[in-house]
Amino acid sequence: MAQMSYLDAVRTALAQEMRRDPAVWAVGEDLGRGGVFGQYRGLVEEFGPARICDAPISEAAILGVAVGAAMLGTRPVVEMRFADFALCAMDELVNQAAKARFMFGGQARVPIVVREPIGMWRSSAAQHSQSLEAWYAHVPGLIVACPATPADAAGLLRTAIRSDDPVVFMEHKNLWGLEGEMPDDPDHCIKFGAARRVRAGRDVTIVSWSAQVHVCAAAAETLAAEGIAAEVIDLRTLWPWDRAAVFASVGRTGRLLVAHEAVAVGGFGAEVAATVAEQRAAALRAPVRRLGAPRALIGYAPPVEDAVRVTAPMIAAAARAMVAGQ
């Protein structure tokens, strides 16, 4: 195991996949200078501009070209720069890539990976800070990955690149500098729909994904000091999502709290909460709870931005109340 940042982990995994398979290539804005966050740094020097392709500022054109190229047999990795900007290419992704295999009776496939940096980051304001994973989880035909650690980001990216279906790969901007252990195996892949148990516990299950996993882990540390053992589950992918792991955890704890950075209204936490309430009601010792951001725009000023965050103290307080029967 080597220590590596989240950013370096995904860059390394992409380079390994490009060496392994000449059909893999990347396209997006500013890739030739390493990408806006440095996640493509050094790749154009190794693979050249024919495989690390700079594109004009047109998300619809970028994704449209990639969909066509994927249907002709290549495996594009599409950089959307910010998840917010990817909305300019919603038709290409949702109406074309997601539906092509079904519409053509299995004769076509669209093996693309659409990388979308998500989340609040350095006062980026309302148009650069959104977490829109629930939008894509709602669309049949799309796989949605939200890795929380360097190792998971690398393993899921390899799986995504090798998949024959379109994958929306959502990387939280605040995770770029996160350090963690990275398997040395260049073929280390993580199966879609396989959750990770971050922490074992007996009193309450806390489910999350992406950067919010680390906030939940911090809340669990606080609760442990009070004698409350919280089990933390990282879904890793939202579609498919690991119902079995969540059900098993709830079967042990009898309580479920889902926490995410995205707006609570229509958030994916509601899907998890409803599924458990419908299918495992007998195991529950308390009503299911979920925490998400208010339905409000994200401000530029740090205090305004902080006002919509789901924090570790909020998560700990909700879990504490559930255990106390409040």
Distance CA 39, CA 113 (A): 15
Three-class HEC string of the chain:
CEEEEHHHHHHHHHHHHHHHCCCEEEEECCHHHCCCCCCCCCHHHHHCCCCEEECCCCHHHHHHHHHHHHHCCCEEEEECCCCCHHHHHHHHHHHHHCCHHHHCCCCCCCCCEEEEEECCCCCCCCCCCCCCHHHHHCCCCCEEECCCCHHHHHHHHHHHHHCCCCEEEEEEHHHCCCEEEECCCCCCCCCCCCCEEEECCCCEEEEECCCHHHHHHHHHHHHHHCCCCEEEEECCEEECCCHHHHHHHHHHHCCEEEEEEEECCCCHHHHHHHHHHHHCHHHCCCCCEEEEECCCCCCCCHHHHHCCCCCHHHHHHHHHHHHCCC
Strands 143-145 and 237-239: antiparallel
Q: What are phi and psi of 286, to 5 degrees?
A: -155, 155
Q: Is-catalytic flag, 128?
A: yes
Catalytic residue (one of 128, 172, 214, 260): 128
Distance CA 3, CA 12 (A): 12
- Contacts for 302-309 with beta carbons within 8 Å, 24 or more apart? 302/123, 305/120, 305/123, 305/129, 309/120, 309/261
Give catalytic residues, as residue numbers: 128
